[in-house]
Amino acid sequence: MKIINLGRQQGKTTRLLYASEWQHIPILCATYQQKRYLMDMAKKLGLIIPEPIYVSEISKGDSVMDKDILIDEAPWVLQMLLKNIGMRGDVKAITLTSDEKVEDCNEYINKLTDDYKKYVNNALGLW
């Protein structure tokens, strides 16, 4: 699992949208409003992504989770999942471990961006 850990407004969601289109993997998000935001943002970027899935769709059984997913705003998704199974308190802290070294995160993002450019150029017959 890759962890994209950047500051606010540094392009985490944008990178995830590109990854979603390139890898044909849906994005799991916390709420319906976030799902709409992801779809609107993908449209503005000219991306064709699999339909995002939000937590309540999983809880109601509206979406089958038998495939790979990307997760946007993971702490918020975790909080919503726990609320849906009856947790009343808030998550106060979490830890994360990445398979990648922290210093490799930017390298991964750059490689993903380069690979995506190749994918787009190939699709357009420019590569």
Total structural domains in the chain? 1
Q: What is the pLDDT of residues 34-89, one digit of tens each?
A: 999 999 999 998 999 999 999 888 766 655 566 788 999 888 888 888 888 887 88
Instruction: Determine the average pLDDT of the residues in 13-38.
Output: 92
What is the predicted pLDDT for the residue at 28?
93
- Neighbouring-strand partners of residue 54: 29
Arithmetic mean of pLDDT over the chain:
78
Domain membership flag for residue 86 = yes
Domain membership flag for residue 38 = yes
What is the predicted pLDDT for the residue at 30?
92
Using alpha carbons, select from 96, 79, 74, 68 the residue that is nearest to residue 29: 74
Using alpha carbons, select from 2, 21, 13 the residue that is nearest to residue 116: 21
pLDDT tier, 127 (very low <50, low <70, confident <90, very high otherwise): very low
Give me the DSSP letters along 37-105. HHHHHHHHHT---PPPEEHHHHHTT-S---S--EESSHHHHHHHHHHHTT--S---------SS-GGGH
Cα–Cα distance, 26 to 9 (Å, whole number): 21
What is the predicted pLDDT for the residue at 34?
96
Domain membership flag for residue 28 = yes
Domain membership flag for residue 60 = yes
Q: Is 1 strand, coil or helix? A: coil
Domain membership flag for residue 77 = yes
Domain membership flag for residue 21 = yes
Domain membership flag for residue 17 = yes
Q: Is 24 strand, coil or helix? A: coil
Q: Which domain holds residue 46?
A: 12-120
What is the predicted pLDDT for the residue at 51?
93
Domain membership flag for residue 127 = no
Q: The whole model's pTM is what?
A: 0.71
Task: Please tell me which residue, 107 or 102, carries the higher pLDDT value.
Answer: 107
